Structure 1
């Protein structure tokens, strides 16, 4: 599929910078909203700890991708300002200011709020100063038997230069005094913590008594560092962690995408550093030495008032059996359309479309549909995309079984799904060994669409059964992310999907679709056209409204179309989880546009576009956000909800329900600031809790008792 065939936005004028917020700064603001969950005493305590870990994880990826790319472009003078017009140097300074604020708030939350609250629940993260003599003896034994044999401390001298430090690993910089057995003066050494070692160690109850007593590996290494350097005096030991550029670049002209990507993966862990995290107690002389070795600047250093790998706090969540400190469990419901499960799924879907709303409704329905296809002798072919599949999905086993059963199975695997590249290469190899035809997508365009096509012979004719989704075929994520899926046997949608798969596997020409909106071809221009249609309705005095639910919004010309529609009289409500560069509430520009973000128990992931269309509403669910990359540089699909009952359900559950949220919603103002919504005079309403109650019969007002 040559790049020249893709639709590119037609731009008449340069965007006006004053009309846009900055993308990177807006993305950072999302993490402050997540951190607010960690600081919310109404949240279950271990969930608060998990939110704190999520902030750290998000910040890692922000540096690995966004900051790394920005720094690289700034260094080579190729960082053209975005629609907001902010120069790269100014943006890097602003990013540092906000990250310093976020880092300070993170560690204050840990030290002042979560640590003491956990201790009150008899969950103790012990520092060296808090160890009892008995605990210290046990930890020393653990260190000698389980940790020390795995370590390879490295003294730094002309024969032992500064080593390569792997991305995001825990390290200890050690200052020494004395001479070694060869008469060499000791000055500096490094201790790298292998990834095989657990980052959090639990002390047995027989040592510490009832309760949970845990120690960070970093504390252990610092406490017993002298045992690694016998004959030397340890003057100091300081934690540090380096974050590196993790964006993979694969040239478009390659003979074998999988091989090229595999070669790139080898060096990713040692790519150019972009951030140095180091303990607050580290002297400047050590910081300067590390800066020089990593070729960083002082502005790349972030001091940590606690463990540098605070992300590891999340590890304790699954390890602790404390249900009273977690969200109550719930059981996803099977969609009502499938009834008691006695009828075949093909029989049901042949008669009516079926909507799936995850995580409230079970992902098992998708697994069951594929299993039925695998076992059905009338099924001839199965085609599916896989972007992120996860380790525990049964779908892969079923695809392998289908191929071995003689069915024609084609799987489009996106090898470049960020941070899942290695897993996807292994997945592709496994499927190929089973006889599955594996397609690696299209060079230059990530295949982000989520779709499954099953071809079945019925009464002498072929019929297509489809599953389309806003989310990945990922079993674990289906319980943590909100997504919309559609099962249908609609002939036109089936024909459209057949053409999309044919294009992906055969690299065919541009295709004409009847129902699906297809990026990078028709999705962008269709979204803009539908926005402009609402504006025309408003100017004609007809009902006009747009409601959209997205993960992110930054495509400048879509935003300009929304501004123009608002000025024409269209009322616009946007539910944008993360980065949003549109400025709502600007006088004369966006007074009719309102933007909110929902941050709750589940990660908001479904994308829904709703257009009033003069009283004949159109609703699309999609794998695509209104971002440049989704609309222009990816293979995406937006699918219509044609059944009026299901379309109304999508509107009620994913749009109206979220617009009524006054407990987990954050409202964006024109300056880029978010304010948490409050019930005021209205009854409290949580969109997610409402759906848990209505679809699962779960009540989540309070955590369950232990």
Structure 2
């Protein structure tokens, strides 16, 4: 264990007690990449993890690295609790990212692609083109590609073009003169964004196997044909990543209009990364760096396609995929004629994707058609215009229900989609509100108001994840369906708070960010500290996606020093240093990276013999606790509470296959079963248990 003993009075963090957030996030992306070389995963799933890593890294540069570079450009002094200057962090990120990318392409070129070829799956790059391919490629190029390609010569009349964020481009070296007698040495060829990046070769060329040729290879094969009378002496792929974060003033008149204006500028933000193919000459790479105003540390030379995220193809080879899993309907709802009748008698807990998302949709469907339902209110963070939920809400509005949708337009990279959702619902007659400027509405809430025996009764769904049926098949999340009067009243007040201009909603049972959640979490930690100081058994188990908030980290350090056993299950970012003598020796931190994306937020406090358990929409980050509207709800039913503790917490603490542990030096280590110990995968256990219960 690392030896540190800080002064905890008026505790101030430093790099000794606080792991840098950006480095921690990058380490999570490396854990995802590690899945791509894990031979225990099916082959196509490994390729999928490689693609997910590419997408994650793109967003990391677009948002996190872009933010650091922006601060440097503005000569802004870092305020991160670790105290490390931004320029140092950027350099560290560059070193780690370069190593990770080199590893990524090694996995692709020397592991995945050769194995895929054994199953008849080939990705044909420029160097892989065979003589038998050339006639078909030529025909495709002149019929499908050449008519939409726009080569741009670089000369005084044609300055370096503005290139869209993450677009595929080629820089071409030329010899000869053009039609006007000009000596052109360089040109840019943007790959048409309207064309697929993967093109399936016809069966007569492949013998019925799955062979895909990259669009980049087709263009490179005929690059000289884009410059008649000239010769292309070199053709090199490159891609620039830009700042894609959006900045909105708090005094905008119309949030939707302001967002539309910002979305158009996202494509041309400040450059933060340049990717070029490995064979690109140094002078060409440096020329591109100058055009994008980037230092050499931001240059990434890759041994293959510059955008691996485009390697997605639909391969129908079941043995190379995870075994299909069919989510189950909870027993209480399987044969129930009406969901309202069930909820009137008991709470229902859903654990996705092990439990089906269908009951959430069915609740809304019944509400949309039930003549006794008067109103439906719902928050929407990421749903999509094609979502069944959006269609059902629109139907409910057309059926005369009072439908209110709180749509968070600023959900990152879903802004445009959410604007479309808002338009669909408004046209159907729903009341659409965009939340509070300056505070993202991240809470997951549904409220249904129904007339029963001349009284109004409320039905509520609260969740840890978005109302997105696709995500519910890939993300682990909890959802509680209840008619508890106090919880329903709290949800009603929060909806009023979001649509009106009244005072802060005073809740009975819910904790509510940005108002009470942070303080209540500190109080719950303090209670465990007091129990430990009295000699009582004290324990905290927290499962969230990220832990960055400095005061909560300080409180957990104090809890450890008081003797509280603290287990943290953190999917991605963890700024706390565990297992440090005198500071955090009673704290363990683990991360589960597996088939499903871990997304549940669960907070457990032993509270002597009267355990308190909460689920919520908030991670333990400053943005969630102070800059977002979040809800945290208690699980009071003893049976449901036991289910969450056993399935959602203790189960994950037993995982010895998909778990990684963090040490005091900020190093993550993949766990393996000890000699003689049985392998245990938490997610697989939950799938197996659902199957057993369904059969029973």
Same fold (TM over 0.5): yes
Q: Distance in 1 between matches of 2:290 and 2:298?
A: 12
Query: Aligned pair 1:328/2:323, yes or no?
Result: yes
Query: Aligned pair 1:47/2:42, yes or no?
Result: no
Q: Distance in 1 between matches of 2:505 and 2:208?
A: 66
Q: How does 1:36-435 map to 2 (within 5 A)?
A: 36-313=34-311, 315-316=312-313, 319-341=314-336, 343-435=337-429
Q: Distance in 2 between matches of 1:323 and 1:263?
A: 44
Provide the residue aligned with 1:624 in structure 2. 618
Q: Distance in 2 between matches of 1:63 and 1:366?
A: 35
Query: Aligned pair 1:543/2:541, yes or no?
Result: no
Residue 642 of structure 1, aligned match among 615, 620, 636: 636
Runs of 4+ in structure 1 deviating by more than 4 angstroms, as ranges, are none
Provide the residue aligned with 2:447 in structure 1. 453
- Matched-pair contact (CA < 8 Å) for 2:385–2:421: no
Q: Distance in 2 between matches of 1:286 and 1:697?
A: 61
Shift of 1:636: 0.4
Which stretch of structure 1 is more off in the superposition, 376-385 or 290-299?
A: 290-299
Provide the residue aligned with 2:685 in structure 1. 690
- Matched-pair contact (CA < 8 Å) for 2:61–2:243: yes
Provide the residue aligned with 2:587 in structure 1. 593
C-alpha RMSD of matched pairs (Å): 1.3
- Matched-pair contact (CA < 8 Å) for 2:385–2:420: no
Provide the residue aligned with 2:6 in structure 1. none
Which stretch of structure 1 is more off in the superposition, 211-220 or 639-648?
A: 211-220
- Matched-pair contact (CA < 8 Å) for 1:620–1:641: yes
Q: Distance in 2 between matches of 1:544 and 1:101?
A: 42
Query: Aligned pair 1:521/2:515, yes or no?
Result: yes
Q: Distance in 1 between matches of 2:205 and 2:593?
A: 40
Provide the residue aligned with 1:5 in structure 2. none
- Matched-pair contact (CA < 8 Å) for 1:70–1:79: no
Query: Aligned pair 1:505/2:502, yes or no?
Result: no
The CA deviation string for residues 250-299 of structure 1, in whole angstroms up to 9 with x for no partner, is 00011111111111111110111111011111111111221121111112
Q: Distance in 2 between matches of 1:465 and 1:698?
A: 27
Q: Distance in 2 between matches of 1:222 and 1:424?
A: 38
Shift of 1:204: 1.2
Provide the residue aligned with 1:25 in structure 2. 23
Shift of 1:392: 3.7
Shift of 1:111: 0.8
The CA deviation string for residues 403-423 of structure 1, in whole angstroms up to 9 with x for no partner, is 111111100000000000011
Q: Distance in 2 between matches of 1:308 and 1:180?
A: 29
Shift of 1:697: 4.7
Provide the residue aligned with 2:32 in structure 1. 34
- Matched-pair contact (CA < 8 Å) for 2:126–2:216: no
SS of the aligned residue for 1:410 comes to: strand
Q: Distance in 2 between matches of 1:285 and 1:391?
A: 46
The two structures have a TM-score, normalised by structure 2, of: 0.97
- Matched-pair contact (CA < 8 Å) for 2:652–2:682: yes
Q: Distance in 1 between matches of 2:349 and 2:384?
A: 23
Q: Which runs of 5+ in 1 are unaligned?
A: 1-10, 700-706
SS of the aligned residue for 1:527 comes to: helix
Q: Distance in 2 between matches of 1:59 and 1:623?
A: 24
SS of the aligned residue for 1:109 comes to: helix
Shift of 1:13: 4.4
Provide the residue aligned with 1:572 in structure 2. 566
SS of the aligned residue for 2:92 comes to: helix
Shift of 1:17: 3.4
Residue 438 and residue 66 in structure 1: after superposition, are their counterparts in 2 closer, same or farther (change >3 A)?
Answer: same
Query: Aligned pair 1:582/2:576, yes or no?
Result: yes
Q: How does 1:667-682 map to 2 (within 5 A)?
A: 667-680=661-674, 681-682=676-677
- Matched-pair contact (CA < 8 Å) for 2:385–2:424: no
- Matched-pair contact (CA < 8 Å) for 1:653–1:691: yes
The CA deviation string for residues 324-379 of structure 1, in whole angstroms up to 9 with x for no partner, is 100111111011121324x2100000110000010011111100010000011110
Q: Distance in 2 between matches of 1:183 and 1:130?
A: 35
Q: Distance in 2 between matches of 1:332 and 1:441?
A: 33
Query: How many matched pairs?
Result: 685
- Matched-pair contact (CA < 8 Å) for 2:539–2:605: yes
Q: Distance in 2 between matches of 1:14 and 1:395?
A: 46
Q: Distance in 2 between matches of 1:376 and 1:79?
A: 58
Residue 79 and residue 425 in structure 1: after superposition, are their counterparts in 2 closer, same or farther (change >3 A)?
Answer: farther
SS of the aligned residue for 1:103 comes to: helix
The CA deviation string for residues 169-216 of structure 1, in whole angstroms up to 9 with x for no partner, is 100111111111111111111111122110111111111213111111
Q: Distance in 1 between matches of 2:665 and 2:220?
A: 45
Shift of 1:31: 1.3
The two structures have a TM-score, normalised by structure 1, of: 0.96
SS of the aligned residue for 2:508 comes to: coil
Q: Which runs of 5+ in 2 are unaligned?
A: 1-8
Q: Distance in 2 between matches of 1:670 and 1:477?
A: 33
SS of the aligned residue for 1:670 comes to: coil
Q: Distance in 1 between matches of 2:159 and 2:500?
A: 51
- Matched-pair contact (CA < 8 Å) for 2:38–2:46: yes
Which stretch of structure 1 is more off in the superposition, 427-436 or 555-564?
A: 427-436
Q: Distance in 1 between matches of 2:669 and 2:632?
A: 31
Q: Distance in 2 between matches of 1:299 and 1:114?
A: 28
Which stretch of structure 1 is more off in the superposition, 690-699 or 327-336?
A: 690-699
- Matched-pair contact (CA < 8 Å) for 1:135–1:208: no
SS of the aligned residue for 1:551 comes to: strand
Q: Distance in 1 between matches of 2:570 and 2:238?
A: 35
SS of the aligned residue for 2:642 comes to: helix
